[in-house]
Amino acid sequence: MEKQFEKENEINVKGIILLAGIILGGLTAWIAKGTFLGLIGGTVGGLVFAIVFITALLPNKPHDR
């Protein structure tokens, strides 16, 4: 008889949202400003926006199960 193991690969949604916020915020500000300081400011702004999104909007998602 074979042993069957179920792989539980949970996706870290919060980490993906933080990473996307940092990258997209940095790229947007860098393209808009065209400076390295704009890139730094955009990454900080994207991080803040992602944290607000995670803490305020994500937990209120209704579950279907």
The structural domain count of the chain equals: 1
Please report which confidence band the pLDDT of residue 65 belongs to, taking 50, 70 and 90 as the band edges.
Answer: low
The answer to whether position 49 is within a domain reads yes
Euclidean distance between CA atoms 20 and 11, whole angstroms: 14
pLDDT of residue 33: 92
Q: Is the pLDDT of residue 47 over 70?
A: yes
The answer to whether position 43 is within a domain reads yes
Please report which confidence band the pLDDT of residue 50 belongs to, taking 50, 70 and 90 as the band edges.
Answer: very high
Assess contact for 48 and 56: CB atoms under 8 A. no
Euclidean distance between CA atoms 46 and 28, whole angstroms: 9
pLDDT of residue 63: 66
Contacts of residue 47, defined as CB under 8 A and 6 or more positions apart, other chains included, come to 18, 21, 22, 25
pTM for this entry = 0.72
Structural domain including 41 reads 15-57
Q: Is the pLDDT of residue 60 over 90?
A: no
